[in-house]
């Protein structure tokens, strides 16, 4: 067996850091925000090491808030949706 499966692990798109920080202030304790902001945008390095350390073999990632719906410009939203889905 290749390990546990982690479902809906959140990540943010590049360029959405300011919006993610505004959202994080609503539900992430101030003591954890630096770690959260570092890990939410990193799906390759630190989070892979953490997954390996905890026996996770597969991770299903999901775009976090505000996501595509947080982009008011239609063309930009379509471009970013394509980027995320690729």
> What is this structure's pTM?
0.71
How do the residues of the chain divide into helix, strand and coil, expressed in percent and rounded to 5?
A: 50, 20, 30
- In tens, the pLDDT along 28-47 reads 999 999 999 999 888 889 99
The pLDDT assigned to 1 comes to: 57
- What is the domain range of residue 72? 4-85
**Residue 31, CA atoms < 13 Å, CB-side half-sphere:** 0
Number of domains in the chain: 1
């Amino acid at each position: 067996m290749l390990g546990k499966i982690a479902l809906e692990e959140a990540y943010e798109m590049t360029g959405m850091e300011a919006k993610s920080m505004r959202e994080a202030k609503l539900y992430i304790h101030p003591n954890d925000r630096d770690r959260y902001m570092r890990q939410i945008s990193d799906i390759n390095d630190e989070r892979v090491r953490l997954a390996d350390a905890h026996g996770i073999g597969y991770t299903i990632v999901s775009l976090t808030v505000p996501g595509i719906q947080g982009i008011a410009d239609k063309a930009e939203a379509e471009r970013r949706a394509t980027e995320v889905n690729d």
